[in-house]
Structure 1
């Protein structure tokens, strides 16, 4: 009688692993907030490193876990923990000029994660698609943040032109995020976004 093989193990993460990943990613985005924001222009929105966290999370761990991590972080901020850049916390950041960009983090993580997952399933070139995913995550954050800023400032032109100052730095963050994700995916392919795991 031939020897029976053990059942194949699933590559889907266990709930405990998902929770742990979510907490770690949320903590990582919070750590990015240790870098202080720089206020430039009259928009009242600082240039920060932390806004790279959501789309980096998306290209690293996939849409679901990245979104959960961002929601967890924002919930902790809302109850008063000073986890945003510059030690900000509470409700004020959500209702101020940068509030739209904060809410946009959720979509940023979602879109970046979904594109990265689709790329993994089609086995598209890793780095180019990670660049596309990270850039798409950044763009949807702008798509939420700029209209919100326009309402806050009372001027679409002020909101749009004021946001242009962020573009060079944010594009650099997109490239860095894609490079980091490419390296990590090669090192830990089974623990991140995969063609069959999500």
Structure 2
């Protein structure tokens, strides 16, 4: 892996951490907060591609596991991997990979303009769906919510996550347009 790739991976991990400085919005009726940090995960996948995005998130998860308070709300340590948000947290990895994989395929087709943006947005949305599926599964199987309650409670995140996918697609489009190619991890 090149020095450039390592720097970009570290940069996007730092972006995810910085977005975690925005305080989470706790919901009284659902054990998972609304947070901005997941925007960084989608950005990493779309801008760095599948491999770079996944490595960026893997670095983040490693920092969390060793106890650094890099998650939204200053959380870190192994306990977050068994808490109510664990499914969403673990879901960051396939979310970044799949968003990046789809973005890689779209960029390889050399499309531009609206088609490029739509393809990158689609990649972000598929990544979000994967993250939600893992989060709902965790809530239903390990937190004690019924599947219906987990799905209904999860719906509060859909508008915000679609907006995050749109923002990430826009940034990916700008990077592609202004650099002539996307940054690769």
TM-score by length of 2: 0.93
For residues 72 and 28 of structure 1, the distance between their equivalents in structure 2, rounded to whole angstroms, comes to 12
For residues 191 and 182 of structure 1, the distance between their equivalents in structure 2, rounded to whole angstroms, comes to 8
After TM superposition, the structure 1 = structure 2 runs for residues 4-23 of structure 1, keeping only pairs within 5 Å, are 15-23=2-10
- Tell me the equivalent position of 1:4: none
After TM superposition, the structure 1 = structure 2 runs for residues 28-43 of structure 1, keeping only pairs within 5 Å, are 28-43=15-30
- Structure 1 residue corresponding to 2:125, chosen from 124, 127, 135: 135
After superposition, what is the alpha-carbon deviation per residue over 1:128-170, rounded to whole angstroms, capped at 9, x for unaligned? 1011011111111011111001121231111111111111111
After superposition, what is the alpha-carbon deviation per residue over 1:86-125, rounded to whole angstroms, capped at 9, x for unaligned? 1111112111110000110000001000101101111232
For residues 28 and 129 of structure 2, the distance between their equivalents in structure 1, rounded to whole angstroms, comes to 21
For residues 151 and 28 of structure 2, the distance between their equivalents in structure 1, rounded to whole angstroms, comes to 12
- Does the CA-based 8 Å contact 2:140-2:146 persist in structure 1? yes
Cα 1:168/1:190, change in 2 over 3 Å: closer
RMSD: 1.4
After TM superposition, the structure 1 = structure 2 runs for residues 77-96 of structure 1, keeping only pairs within 5 Å, are 77-96=64-83
For residues 30 and 181 of structure 2, the distance between their equivalents in structure 1, rounded to whole angstroms, comes to 43
- Tell me the equivalent position of 1:179: 170
Gapped runs of 5+ residues in structure 1? 1-13
| Higher normalized helix content (fraction of residues) | 2
- Tell me the equivalent position of 1:144: 134
Look at both structures and tell me which one has the larger radius of gyration over its CA atoms.
1
Q: How many residues are matched?
A: 181
The 4+ residue runs of structure 1 with deviation greater than 2 A are none
TM-score by length of 1: 0.87
For residues 164 and 81 of structure 1, the distance between their equivalents in structure 2, rounded to whole angstroms, comes to 30
